[in-house]
Amino acid sequence: MALNKPYLDLPGTTIFDAEQSRKGYWLNQFCMSLMTADNRARFKADERGYLDEWAMSEEQKQAVLDRDLNRCIALGGNIYFLAKIGATDGKSFQQMAGSMTGMSEEEYRDMMLGGGRSAEGNRYLGEDGDAQPQHQPQGKSKGSN
Amino acid sequence: MARITASVYTSHVPAIGAALDLGKSQEPYWQPVFAGYDYGKQWIKEQKPDVIFLVYNDHATAFSLDFIPTFAIGTGAEYQPADEGWGPRPVPKVMGHPQLAAHIAQSVIQDDFDLTIVNKMDVDHGLTVPLSLMFGQPEAWPCAVIPFAVNVVQYPVPSGRRCFQLGQAIRRAVESFDGDLNVQIWGTGGMSHQLQGPRAGLINKEWDNAFLDRLIADPADLAQMPHIDYVREAGSEGIELVMWLIARGAMSDVAGGPAPELKQRFYHVPASNTAVGHLILENKQ
């Protein structure tokens, strides 16, 4: 019998459940390794070489090299693990979160200062809010960053 | 006997810790956030708790995917602030209360909550940011802290109902401890926020404030709310709010006592990606 997953109709959101966790096991464990200064330095010196030490898929490695957090999440990454990559790059959580929307850093910060993203139209797939697939990427540059 | 005198609820946004550590708390962006805790800082000086039972979640810090405990109680003597990737926060180490923690662990497990017992772990911003908000920047934290980590990272997280029941068991455990201790229980995390995907940045002020209303006045009903409502209305990381129900479940009124007194209520948007909420509820003597 299938598991109860009532969260598959959320737009722009991936729930990190047991299935995602299984897919992303090595990706996330690689991220954990960046919690020591030595490993952060080794990773920065040779990203590709460091990633090759881990049993990650080629797609996962490429997504890390590209710093494509949406792709990392689709491949089983979890944001709290992926945040270790951002920390290694000297990025804040706001910069990381904003990078997944297509908005520029300034656009995303302004949205938050304006009270954040509204839930209106963003509760269910098929509505018309700004987080819906038909409105990606967001922001004026339309994701050219 | 030991008793729970009050509960404190607060968001634990990492950027708040960074703002404090980097001396930015008086900047226009941060000043309104910290101002919301001015009352609490004064209040807690007068309350002088001996122990804080601090409910928080680990953010892939002490617990990687090596093991993922749903409920973990810290029974150690001390805990170091973790290096979460930016280097450890420059805050004092956290002193535990092994006797009370071990007592609570035994009592709560005998009460059918299968806790994981942790003697050694580092504690991340989920635990240290609330301490900073309530105590500022002291040389040493002024009381003992029992870390209580809840899995809200890998779905499914415990239900609000289970958290609320667990709070009640923690209250029974504390009250059966032979020692005159003033214990506070803190519930942390939330409020609405989403840190991932195209829906990142979601904030739901109306929903958050309704949550605060219900947490104060009718927590048993609030505890029935399913996960999906948190996620849909308050963002994927808004699910952290189930932890507030553990602290609320430990208040006297849930066991038939008088309603608690609301000493502080604060709400502010934004702190980085997140809506900040803060409550103080005091048990009547």
What is the domain extent for residue B137? Answer: 3-282
A69 contacts B231? CB cut-off 8 A? no
pLDDT at B70: 98
Both A62 and A116 in a single domain? no
Q: Alpha-carbon distance A69 to A101, whole Å?
A: 10
Place A144 in a pLDDT band, splitting at 50, 70 and 90.
very low
B193 carries an active-site annotation: yes
The 3-state DSSP class for residue B35 equals helix
Q: Which regions in chain B score pLDDT beneath 50?
A: none
**Structure tokens, B49:** 């708790």
Percent of chain B with pLDDT over 90: 98
- A-chain residues near B66 (CB < 8 A): 29
B199 contacts A131? CB cut-off 8 A? yes
Among B252, B245, B234, B228, CA closest to B279: B245
When divided into structural domains, chain A yields a total of 2
pLDDT at B85: 79
pLDDT tens digits for range A81-91: 999 999 999 99
Residue B254: CB atoms within 10 Å: 18
pLDDT tens digits for range B60-108: 999 999 999 999 999 999 999 998 877 899 999 999 999 999 999 999 9
Residue A4: CB atoms within 10 Å: 8
- The catalytic residue among B12, B59, B103, B125 is B125
ipTM of the complex: 0.95
Place A145 in a pLDDT band, splitting at 50, 70 and 90.
very low
When divided into structural domains, chain B yields a total of 1
Both A81 and A95 in a single domain? no
pLDDT tens digits for range A38-87: 999 999 999 999 999 999 999 999 999 999 999 999 999 999 999 999 99
Q: A35: Cβ–Cβ under 8 A, 6 or more apart, which residues?
A: A84, B61, B82, B83, B84, B85
Average pLDDT, rounded, for chain A: 94
What is the domain extent for residue A48? Answer: 16-90
A95 domain-assigned: yes
**Structure tokens, B12:** 């634990």
Q: What is the CATH number of the domain that holds A23?
A: 1.10.700.10
Q: How far apart are the first and last CA of chain A?
A: 43
Mean pLDDT of the A118-133 span: 97
Both A23 and A75 in a single domain? yes
Report the residue of B121, B125, B196, B274 to disrupt the A interface, i.e. the one with the largest count of A CBs within 10 Å.
B196
Length of chain A: 145
- The catalytic residue among B193, B227, B268, B278 is B193
pLDDT at A32: 96
**Structure tokens, B67:** 């093991």
B59 carries an active-site annotation: no
A31 domain-assigned: yes
Both A38 and A80 in a single domain? yes
Length of chain B: 285
Q: What is the CATH number of the domain that holds B157?
A: 3.40.830.10
B203 contacts A6? CB cut-off 8 A? no
pTM of the model: 0.97
pLDDT at A142: 63
Both A74 and A105 in a single domain? no
> What does each C-alpha distance from B279 to B1, B178, B212, B271 come to in angstroms?
26, 29, 8, 17
A29 contacts B65? CB cut-off 8 A? yes
